[in-house]
A and B are shown apart, each in its own frame.
Chain A
Amino acid sequence: MSALRMGRRLPRRTVPRALMALGALVAIGFVAVNVAIGYVVIDGRLDGQWYDVRDLGIGVQELREWLDDRNAQQPGILDFLGQHWISYAVTALLGATGILSIVGGALLILIWVERRLIGRMQIRRGPNRVGPYGLLQPIADAVKLIQKEVLMPRGADKVLFFLPPALIFIPMIVAWGPIPWGAQMAYLDVHVGILFLIAVSSLTTLAIFMAGWSSNNHYALLGAMRTIAMMISYEIPLSIALLSVVLLSGSMQLSTIVEWQSTHNVWLAALLPLAMFTYFFSSTAELNRTPNDIAEAESEIVAGFHTEYSGMKFGLFYAVELGNALFVAALTATLFLGGWSLFGLEEWIPGYLILGAKISAAYFLLVWLRGTLPRFRLDQLMKFAWQFLIPLSLLNLLIVAVEASVFARWEVKGIVSLGLFAIVNWAAAIILVREWARRMGYRPEREAVRQPILTQGVGGLQAARRLGAPEMGTQV
């Protein structure tokens, strides 16, 4: 053994046992407190509608009513803003603070989680220097980013360059409003929840285009143009996929969709596989995650629309990227994986923990994709959207529409008809994907896996012709 090898060996245990024990204790305590609260909640020890201290939505509603009452008694000086302005302002601030603290906290952990996970996938350790297991790395990153100088390129449009980091943050926060974290635990449980989400998440594009245009940089502009093209293409299959969810569950309200899944004891993922795939794939396209991260394709256009941003402005873009990924995971979990319900287990475990677990699973899938796959080309992605996803999701929508009307009219036992639907939809998904791909000219069996020719002799052009190697210019 050389000294070299000896020096390589790191001390095995870098974290003391006491610290690990402390962490375990904290975790157990957290779970115990939650179970206790859940027990109290479900048992109804706190009576009345105001039964959950963590219930943001109802708390906000209570507050608004109380404020309205007060306001009606004492007219204020700002009444020209409308009758309820103070209650709306206060509740909005409260809700935004709540979401921001939850999502912000999650982001801090997620940065670490993603880097650790990708590190593991790439046979590295990932961040492990700042704090125990490198847990403080995101904070160190944030401190570094805040300290860095924020540059503005010469020739940039100053106003438009200044706005996007803030503008892009708003849709990310607002979109979290309708997500139900438990029974009656949504901050903004609007009746047209899905419509609201589609509308809000499209706003991100505007900020991205502003950033790309105002940077006065070709890379940024290319990234922005690509984003627009992707958004136009993928918004359609995404909306159609969500529409089939709406058709089957009969509601646009997210809490109702979760309750539908809970009462029928089924996940929509089992019923609508194609819709789920379409939604997930389109979302990765809109999120700029691999394999569809063409808008900020690092190897081509450096960083896309945020090439020119530095310091904490870049940090905001980065955070929004992660936050949007987390949001897509949350929406997938809510719409397709049963949300906060888990086949009756939600009576024993608080709903937000269940949802959190599902979000983590969906998020892990996103990280996994990123750690594994190369990237598509722009035109390939466009082609995939227009020639494949849109027709397929339209056909799927047709099938689901028929099923939904059957489900609404016939009073069969839910388990029978839903089981039938599941079988029909899975079969339809497999057949549709297969046949449509073949229609588009995908013939995997016709092309053998290409292997280089092996030869012993050397030569030039004549030898090349003899080997019959280059069928040049043949399009593949």
Chain B
Amino acid sequence: MPAGPRQLSGEAVAAPVAAAVPDAILRATDEWVEVRPERIADVLRFLHDDADLDARQLSNLCAVDRHDRFEVVYHLQSLDRNHQIVVKAIVGEHDEPSLPSATAVYKGALLQEREVYDLMGVRFEGHPDLRRMFLWEGYPGFPLRKDFLQIPEHHPGLPKFPFEESGVQAR
């Protein structure tokens, strides 16, 4: 059973995607489709352009830290057909995760990807302006990661105000 009332099941999405973008789909449950991370931009492009799936809006983008991997979750919305599609890209690398950016397809990803990068440290390759958003450049670590409190050198919290003596200016 899909979680949302108007959510397409993963299998229903997976079939047309697999036909159009070969070897992109890794797994399809009834809730979501798991996509090979390096192909995520192509899959999103197809979902956006396809007349039946018609995922014209990226309604939500966020990442989940699963200790050893990152799940980047895309909630896509078709306004005309009124259904929701959930796509996940699971990045196995935990120290330097990265995957292609969705900004070429969705302008709405501009700020959401920046937020994910800022708080989770997932790099989106091809994002035009991937910088820290809430925190400042040079902040130690990424606070939403599960191991944030175990960063050895840096105790979380501020020893002093960030620009006090470093002279680093946030842009």
Contact = CB atoms under 8 A, between A and B. Distances in A.
| Direct A–B contact present (CB less than 8 angstroms) | yes
User: What are the 5 closest A-B residue pairs judged by CB atoms, nearest first?
Assistant: A460-B79, A460-B80, A462-B80, A459-B80, A460-B56
Interface residues of A, number: 6
B112 interface: no
Nearest to B81: A460
Interface in A441-460: 458-460
A463 interface: yes
B79 to A, nearest CB: 3
- Which of A460, A461, A462 has the most chain B CB atoms closer than 10 A to its own CB? A460
Size class of the contact patch on chain B: under 10
B78 interface: yes
Interface in A416-472: 458-463
Contacts of A461: 56, 79-80
Given A463-B79, A463-B80, 10 more contacts: A459-B80, A459-B82, A460-B57, A460-B78, A460-B79, A460-B80, A461-B56, A461-B79, A461-B80, A462-B80
Nearest to A462: B80
Contacts of B54: 460
Contacts of B56: 460-461
A102 B93 CA distance: 79
Contacts of A459: 79-80, 82
Contacts, number: 17
A459 B83 CA distance: 11
Contacts of B80: 459-463
A458 B54 CA distance: 15
Contacts of A460: 54, 56-57, 78-80
Nearest to B57: A460
Nearest to B82: A458
Interface in A111-156: none
A463 B82 CA distance: 11
B59 to A, nearest CB: 12
17 contacts: A458-B79, A458-B82, A459-B79, A459-B80, A459-B82, A460-B54, A460-B56, A460-B57, A460-B78, A460-B79, A460-B80, A461-B56, A461-B79, A461-B80, A462-B80, A463-B79, A463-B80
A206 to B, nearest CB: 37
Contacts of B57: 460
Nearest to B80: A460
Nearest to A463: B80
Contacts of B82: 458-459
A459 B78 CA distance: 9
A460 B57 CA distance: 9
Contacts of B78: 460
Nearest to A460: B79
B160 to A, nearest CB: 22
A378 to B, nearest CB: 30
